[in-house]
Structure 1
């Protein structure tokens, strides 16, 4: 059985756009997972800890035969492959991959809660997610409705479309 999951991507150390693109190509190359859609790339102000470089953020939809926890494991494995170190919550990172939703189904264990409980609070997630999944529901609203309500100050579009990840360069 194939499920559709949505992922949030971000980073602000090194060349985050190139790292995110390479991570998506790595995920897409697997036999059990296929990239179905990718948002435009956005440059976003830091959140949580604000004394750090701007981030690049995007969202992707994948089609996969993996279960929700296995998708999380894939994200963590991919982060490690790109030298992600978890030192400081909301701190700088080479790559951040978050599972946002898995086929619209609730899921919870010690490491993962789906749908992601804070998606609607984060413009750096909801704005790119609206590019690829405007009708996805979080709480009582669709992503498009959340995106219309969120504060977008400082968020800049950094690619024309969702094809930026396919190029071996940074796609901007």
Structure 2
């Protein structure tokens, strides 16, 4: 049995576009994960701490045989493999950020994982890439991706060639 999961990717330190490409390839090469859709890259302003470089963000859809927590563990291991150090600072600069945004139509809220991601509806940098790959996806408790995107200001999020 496989589930379609939606994953947000981002970073703002170093050669981010190459690192995102490599992380997507690494996930696709992982047993139990197959990348089935991929968004454009977007240049986006920082969220939270604004005194840092702009981010590059994207999203992918994967078919996975992994459970939600197993997929989360794989995402965290991939971040570490690409130089991410989680030092407790929220919204700070990072080499790579992989967020499990949705796992099928499941709602999970425990000490390790909350899906759908609780702040998707506030974030143009998440919704724009999601709209590229899953515009009609309905996120339980939040709504349809295109409807959520229509409610946020995405003017500063620039698609990259």
Short-chain TM bin: over 0.9
TM-superposition CA deviations, 1:110-157 (whole Å, max 9, x none):
110111111011110011101111111233520011112210121100
Q: Shift of residue 58 of structure 1?
A: 0.4
> Are residues 31 and 140 of structure 1, via their aligned partners in 2, closer, same or farther at CA, if it must alter by over 3 Å?
closer
Query: Which secondary structure state, in structure 2, belongs to the residue aligned with residue 70 of structure 1?
Result: helix
Alignment map for 1:57-76 (pairs within 5 Å):
57-76=57-76
Query: Which secondary structure state, in structure 2, belongs to the residue aligned with residue 37 of structure 1?
Result: strand
Moved over 4 A (4+): none
In structure 2, the residue matched to 1:168 is: none
Q: Is residue 104–residue 136 contact of structure 1 (8 Å, CA) maintained in 2?
A: no
1:30 and 1:116 mapped to 2: Cα distance? 23
Per the normalisation by structure 2, the TM-score is 0.95
TM-superposition CA deviations, 1:45-92 (whole Å, max 9, x none):
001000000000000000010000011001100000001012321000
Structure 1, gaps ≥5 residues long: 160-172
Per the normalisation by structure 1, the TM-score is 0.90
Structure 2, gaps ≥5 residues long: none
RMSD: 1.0
Greater mean deviation of Cα atoms: 138-147 or 82-91: 138-147
2:156 and 2:85 mapped to 1: Cα distance? 26
Equivalent pairs counted in the alignment come to 159
